[in-house]
Amino acid sequence: MSISGTAIALPNIGQDLSVSGSPLNWVVAGYNLAFAAITLVAGAAADRVGRRRIFIISAAVFSAGFILTASSQSILILDAARIISGVGGAGVMASGGALLASNYEGAARNRAFAFMGTMAGVGIAIGPTIVGALISATGWRGSFVAFAVVGVLVVCGASRLNESRADEGRADWVGSVLFVIVLSAFMLVLLEGPELGWGHPLVWGSLAVGTAAFIAFSFVQRHSAAPILAPELVGHRAFMGWCLATLTTSIGFLGALVFLPTYLQTAAGSTPVKAGLTMLLLTAPVLVAPIVAVTLVNRGVSARLLILVALTLVVTGNFGLLLLGPENTTALVAAPLLLIGIGMGTSFGITDGQAMSLVPARLVGTAAGFLNTLRGAAEALVIAVFSALLFGFLASQLTDSGHASEVAAGNLGSRNGSDSQVEVEAFTTAWHLTQTVIGAVCLVLSIVVAVLLFGRTRRHLT
């Protein structure tokens, strides 16, 4: 919900705080960046410090971040608060997955992860609708208070969980810091490059820092006694195939989830509530598909074949979104959104369980962190890349970059003398071009997944 719901709130936040462009994009991207950067670190820490302990601390941080978000009076404070929430969310997901993996085996583990996927689907599905209703009733600040309340309830209930940890006690803190620097630097390049210009010193400096940190991270991981990214995980074809499947479905899902609500509320003239209801076509299947998928697998259907079907649906749905237009929007995109939602839900139901079934007990936290890092990285990078592409295609059609930034944020007709019809047409064209790129990327990655999963490989990690 903290991702799908926030997307609905962006136009209202932009109007209330008089902000657009990159600072507004950081409301979503900041959370996702922190989530992606910290998840792998949190998973490794959970293995060593204690999975329940990290879970409780993370839930408390999550709530604190949302309380600060709801009370923010400037975009700078709001973006910082979202980053804090993302750190908490990362710890909850990584330690939560590790707790499940350490307490269940076999078919029970598959069901546990399917239920976890369903719960994630519930959040994604009801996020736009619930937040849209809360915004209409209490404003965007009230919607963020709800997340803080949920976090507090999680903290209260977590005391009933059993503690578990790996036998190893060392942690790769140098690798952890370098990993955070790498992802943060490259995200900064993608988000700030379109507005500041690709030749701006901040952009080039961030690229240089990210590249240097990546080289250092690779060196540290090869020589560390307890790396946060275990080499045996990366070197296992089947495990990486399932991880890449997670990455691919996330890429195909997140662009529509985050950016479509703005288009619906501006170019198509929908209210927040109506936009949220339209998004149910994308998110509602994620409620049902995980349980259906794991039931099929437990009855003997090939999980590898099922994930290929899911990837095909995601690719087809993304290309189907080229039908998007300002009139009859819901009717035009209903089928594509349903296909993407079913594909994403199927992935939710089986990828974690299949990947974790290959992993020994000593690496479950690291593996869970790696899986969720890929999801978080996909979320962060898709938002950055989608935003950069959308901005670039808009800038090529409108008068200047500032105008393109305003339209991308949903502020149509905000300039004196601007033609809102021209802006709608430019917005639609930019969306189509951007969606073409996303669909092509998903297609290529799906082929790679098929090669990894159906190639010859050892069954389990040791």
**pLDDT 10s digits, 312-353:** 999 999 999 998 888 767 788 899 999 999 999 999 888 888
* 221 in a structural domain: yes
Residues 214 and 327 in one domain: no
Distance CA 237, CA 455 (A): 8
What tens digit of pLDDT does each residue of 58-86 get?
989 999 999 999 888 899 999 999 999 99
Residues 163 and 202 in one domain: no
Residues 343 and 433 in one domain: yes
Distance CA 280, CA 130 (A): 11
Distance CA 96, CA 57 (A): 12
* 461 in a structural domain: no
* 462 in a structural domain: no
Residues 221 and 231 in one domain: no
Distance CA 207, CA 190 (A): 10
pLDDT at 65: 92
Residues 275 and 309 in one domain: yes
**Closest C-alpha to 356, from 38, 104, 62:** 104
What tens digit of pLDDT does each residue of 406-421 get?
776 666 666 655 667 7
Tell me the DSSP string of 206-261.
HHHHHHHHHHHHHHHHHH-SS-SS-HHHHT-HHHHHHHHHHHHHHHHHHHHHHHHH
Residue 327: strand, helix, or coil: coil
Both structure tokens of 24: 């507004």
- Ranges of residues in the chain with a pLDDT under 50 are none
Domain housing 337: 4-171+226-454
Q: How far is CA 32 from CA 86, 89, 300, 445, in A?
A: 6, 9, 36, 21
* 460 in a structural domain: no
Q: Which of 210, 225, 240 is the last residue of a domain?
A: 225
Residues 284 and 420 in one domain: yes
In one-letter notation, the amino acid at residue 331 is A
**Closest C-alpha to 95, from 52, 65, 62:** 52
Residues 178 and 166 in one domain: no
Residues 197 and 55 in one domain: no
Residues 153 and 204 in one domain: no
* 415 in a structural domain: yes
Among positive and negative, which fits the CA dihedral 279, 280, 282, 283? positive
Residues 137 and 276 in one domain: yes
Residues 321 and 208 in one domain: no
The domain that holds 376 is classified in CATH as 1.20.1250.20
* 259 in a structural domain: yes
The total domain count for the chain is: 2
With a CB cutoff of 8 Å and minimum separation 6, the contacts of 26 are 75, 79, 82, 191
* 459 in a structural domain: no
pLDDT at 321: 92
Q: 455 and 239 in contact (C-beta within 8 Å)?
A: no
Residues 112 and 191 in one domain: no
